[in-house]
């Protein structure tokens, strides 16, 4: 689990936001440029630490307590739904994945709101993905227990894709780590639940499953996965290492 450094904390709408570099190693023309996460009150506004680069893609994972999520908005981009309102355990809380393709350049703040309850929001900027039609496969699952997984997608359309998985877990006594082959990007904890985000770069077609490391204490959970196709047009892929507030 990433250690959240106190010096990165900003109090935003009764929640803590942390700007950070990504953990995912770049590969096959895909890179995670930067990310940020907030856990707190709804609605929430969350800024990227550095300006976005034109043509990149934003992926947002939203978790709402006791109700549905809503499509995010930001300074200049339009968001589409990858997978919406996956149930978490037996209750009414939900987790969703949204994305904005071919984004504009400049400073950017993403806003999201829950129909009820508190909000957890994670935002990522990726380079190297298709600027249109990037979303390929999705899957979601819910349950109660100590093992968490989104379930496998159908076979991916091309060999090189980004896979991102989100999970919400119904306690903070212990939280799932990344599954085998996955990179844990962030854990957002607040109140009696947490949200974990993991990703990986796929290099062959298959049926990926966002698995998370098993924990000791059983709880209700909901997990989902979305895959996004790499830009295979043969053009130059822009990506950069981003270190924020370190």
Instruction: Give pLDDT tens digits for 125-167.
Output: 999 999 999 999 999 999 999 999 999 999 999 999 999 999 9
Closest CA to 241 of 58, 51, 32: 32
**Is the CB of residue 243 less than 8 Å from the CB of residue 21?**
yes
Least confident of 90-94, 115-119, 234-238: 234-238
Mean pLDDT over each residue of the chain, to the nearest integer: 87
Region 106-116 average pLDDT = 93
Percent of the chain at pLDDT exceeding 70: 87
pTM above 0.75, yes or no: yes
Round to whole Å and give the CA distance between 142 and 86: 8
Instruction: Give pLDDT tens digits for 175-187.
Output: 889 999 999 999 8
Region 206-235 average pLDDT = 91
pLDDT number for residue 11: 31
Residue-level length of the chain = 246
Higher pLDDT, 216 or 238: 216
Q: Does position 92 have pLDDT exceeding 70, yes or no?
A: yes
pLDDT number for residue 42: 80
**Is the CB of residue 70 less than 8 Å from the CB of residue 154?**
no
* Radius of gyration for the alpha carbons in the chain, expressed in angstroms and rounded: 16
């Amino acid at each position: 689990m990433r250690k959240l450094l106190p010096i990165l904390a900003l109090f935003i709408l009764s929640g803590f936001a942390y700007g950070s570099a990504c953990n995912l190693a770049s590969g096959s023309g895909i890179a995670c440029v930067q990310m940020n996460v907030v856990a707190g009150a709804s609605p929430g506004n969350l800024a990227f630490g550095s300006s976005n680069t034109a043509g990149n893609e934003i992926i947002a994972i939203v978790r709402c307590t006791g109700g549905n999520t809503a499509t995010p908005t930001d300074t200049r981009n339009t968001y589409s739904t990858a997978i919406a309102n996956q149930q978490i355990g037996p209750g009414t809380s939900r987790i969703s994945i949204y994305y904005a393709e071919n984004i504009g350049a400049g400073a950017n703040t993403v806003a999201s709101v829950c129909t009820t309850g508190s909000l957890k929001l994670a935002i990522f900027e990726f380079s190297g993905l298709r600027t249109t039609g990037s979303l390929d496969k999705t899957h979601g699952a819910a349950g109660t227990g100590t093992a968490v997984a989104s379930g496998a997608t159908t076979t991916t359309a091309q060999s090189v894709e980004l896979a991102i998985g989100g999970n919400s877990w119904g306690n903070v006594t212990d939280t799932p780590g990344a599954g085998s082959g996955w990179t844990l990007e962030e854990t957002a904890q607040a109140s009696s639940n947490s949200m974990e985000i993991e990703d990986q770069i796929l290099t062959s077609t298959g049926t990926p499953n966002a698995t998370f490391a098993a924990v000791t204490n059983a709880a209700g959970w909901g997990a989902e996965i979305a895959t996004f196709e790499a830009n295979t047009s043969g053009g130059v892929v822009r990506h950069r290492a981003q270190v924020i507030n370190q």
